Amino acid sequence: MFKAHSSHKPGLGARRWFLQQAGAVLAVSWGGGRSAQATPCAPGWIDAHVHVWTPDVRRYRLAPGWTEDQMNPPSFTPWQLLAHARPCGVRRVVLIQMSFYGYDNSYMLDVIRRFPGVFSGVAVINEHQQPEQKMKQLLAQGVRGFRIHPGRQDLQRWIHSPGMQTMWRTAAETGQAICALINPDALPLIDRMCQRWSQTPVVVDHFGRIGLDGQIRSSDLRNLCRLARHKNVYVKVSAYYALGKKRPPYTDLLPMFRQVYEAFGPQRLMWASDCPFQVQGGHTYRDSIDLVLQRADFLSDQDRLWILRKTAQKVYFW
């Protein structure tokens, strides 16, 4: 059950009921140690962005250029994740392909298969190698989105490549989301792509990483909020450990959160922890979800239902 949190304010009867609804028991049986069935009861919250990996690097090999000592923590399996997420009422999770594995999505796909109904997936593919075919193959394996990230490439070359156009066009057809891990300087490019591919579902990660360097610039925030005029654009309000002052309870992020909320509305925002990074360096899982549940007082309980469950359900669980 959801444990009442000590910071609950008195006189919030409706809030308490709401939290109890979200936190109904998740029954999980670890059949044979390799699989798990979630019992479908009340739907609980959805964490829209988590990475998992295994120390078993013989079975799941790291991509060229990656070494085991870059895996920090050395292990973050779905079991480790759920130990953080379940006590906070989180029942389902969107897995984001981890960089160590490059274009080999097999660990994530195996986790999706072993926990039916619990995980959805965002894969990484090489946009220059038959992207349309790969996107459609992965659709059948539970992949509902694709991470795009420029890395060190020139931004213009990256976003305007033929492979990238194919990905956006195919996503409009399949309904999979293009999930952009970008810095604020790429927001205008995403805007142009949204004009061109208006039917493509697009999710911008972590507020467009505004505040990553500690500075929340109003010009960046304007560029992010301008994307709201494209009806298929969503924003992850996530990764609080990495933005602004980077200290719980993260209330310095609330003005940005509110502005994004006013631009997009709750039906196009989704909360995510970005574990395991959210549960390191003195940050906790509870610290993250509590910004939405306890601190963002401009949200109604209906808004919270969207941000903590329904938006991610619509985009990733179908």
Site residues (vs Zn ion, CB under 5 A): 274
Cα gap 256→51, rounded to integer Å: 25
Q: Which is nearer to Zn ion, 149 or 295 (CB)?
A: 149
Q: Smallest gap, in angstroms, from Cβ of residue 212 to Zn ion? A: 12
- Cβ proximity to Zn ion: between 19 and 269 the closer is 269
State in angstroms the smallest separation of the CB of 3 from Zn ion.
Answer: 27
Burial 195-209 (b: 16+ CB within 10 A, else e): eebeebbbbbbbbbb
Q: Which is nearer to Zn ion, 170 or 273 (CB)?
A: 273
Q: Per the structure block, which two tokens stand in for 67?
A: 């070494």
Shortest Å, Cβ 76 to Zn ion: 11
Q: Coil, strand or helix: which one is 74?
A: coil
Residues contacting residue 47 through CB under 8 Å, at least 6 positions apart: 85, 90, 92, 93, 94, 271, 272, 273, 275
3-state secondary structure 150-206: CCCCCHHHHHCCHHHHHHHHHHHHHCCEEEECCCHHHHHHHHHHHHHCCCCCEEECH
Least Cβ distance, residue 51 to Zn ion (angstroms) = 6
The 8-class DSSP code of residue 83 comes to: H
Helix (H, G, I), strand (E, B) or coil at 120: strand
Q: How far is the CB of 296 from Zn ion (least distance, A)?
A: 21
The smaller minimum CB distance to Zn ion, of residues 127 and 274, is found at: 274
* Secondary structure of residue 247 in the 3-state scheme: coil
- In the complex with Zn ion, which residue's Cβ is closer, 19 or 85? 85
Shortest Å, Cβ 108 to Zn ion: 13
* In the complex, least distance from residue 278 CB atom to Zn ion, rounded to whole angstroms: 9
Q: Which tokens sit at 300? A: 């109604």
Least separation in angstroms between residue 176's CB and Zn ion is 18
What angle do the packed helices 254-264 and 218-226 form, to 10 degrees?
Answer: 20
Residue whose token pair is 């130990």 = 83
121, containing H or E segment: strand 119-123
Compare residues 274 and 290 and give the one whose CB is closer to Zn ion. 274
- Name which of 177 and 299 has its Cβ closer to Zn ion: 177
| Rounded CA separation 161/296 (Å) | 40
Kindly tell me which of 10 and 151 has the beta carbon lying closer to Zn ion: 151
